[in-house]
Chain A
């Protein structure tokens, strides 16, 4: 079997460990704020606490797919394999966040709307986004040629990002059951209570640190996979 050695810079391992510890601590604090510190909602009751994990998952899904877009543009521009590794890693993590957004939204919808699922614009566009990025990951397996695969994926990564603003703005464009944005509003004035906003912002920060941690680990795996594929070809 062909062997390949992947160098791991010591500072990189330290940074990742730091991100891992920071994400665990931040998630613990954010979960305490969301479950015990923030007040119950006057209309939704305790169910509002689901939104402290539903919304960060949705935002991190947006972030992941924007990173896929930026890395894809960068790859087509420079042809650097690192950017392809960043794109596929972020797409995989984005699919996880989108899947969780759909599942958690469904759990929130059952006691709030009375249904697990309804065919309304935000839910449909999010489900379409999930399927499209699963397709992105599948398209990558169509070719064993590294450059061809990366180029195809980069083109797809640029095209698919169009769905991100469609998902976010779908509630304002169409008559939707899903509530309107309460934080990322055009007038930049959140409609949330300050304590609820604090818990949400801390949870988003914790999820963002987790995303950075997972990305560093996933990108390293992808770079190792690329190196093995190159070594096997030679």
Chain B
């Protein structure tokens, strides 16, 4: 049971970390663009 919860936690952490990093990368690319204009 504890092992199963570990898989669940790992899945949610990986999913939201990846989505969050992608959104952050969009912000970073937008900021780079604003600096170059």
Contacts and interface: CB of A to CB of B under 8 A. Distances in A.
Contacts, number: 69
Contacts of B12: 31, 35, 53
Nearest to A217: B26
Nearest to A221: B29
Interface residues of B, number: 23
Contacts of B22: 93, 96, 214
Given A6-B37, A46-B5, A214-B22, A108 B11 contact: yes
The B interface is mostly helix, strand or loop, or mixed, namely helix
A191 interface: no
For chain A, give the interface size range.
20 to 34
Contacts of A108: 7, 11
Given A214-B22, A218-B26, A3 B15 contact: no
Interface string A122-153: 00000000000000000000000000000000
Nearest to A225: B33
Interface of B: 1, 3-5, 7-8, 10-12, 14-16, 18-19, 22-23, 26-27, 29-30, 33, 36-37
Those 10 A-B pairs whose CB atoms lie nearest each other, nearest first: A50-B11, A46-B4, A217-B26, A107-B11, A53-B15, A49-B8, A47-B4, A104-B11, A224-B33, A111-B7
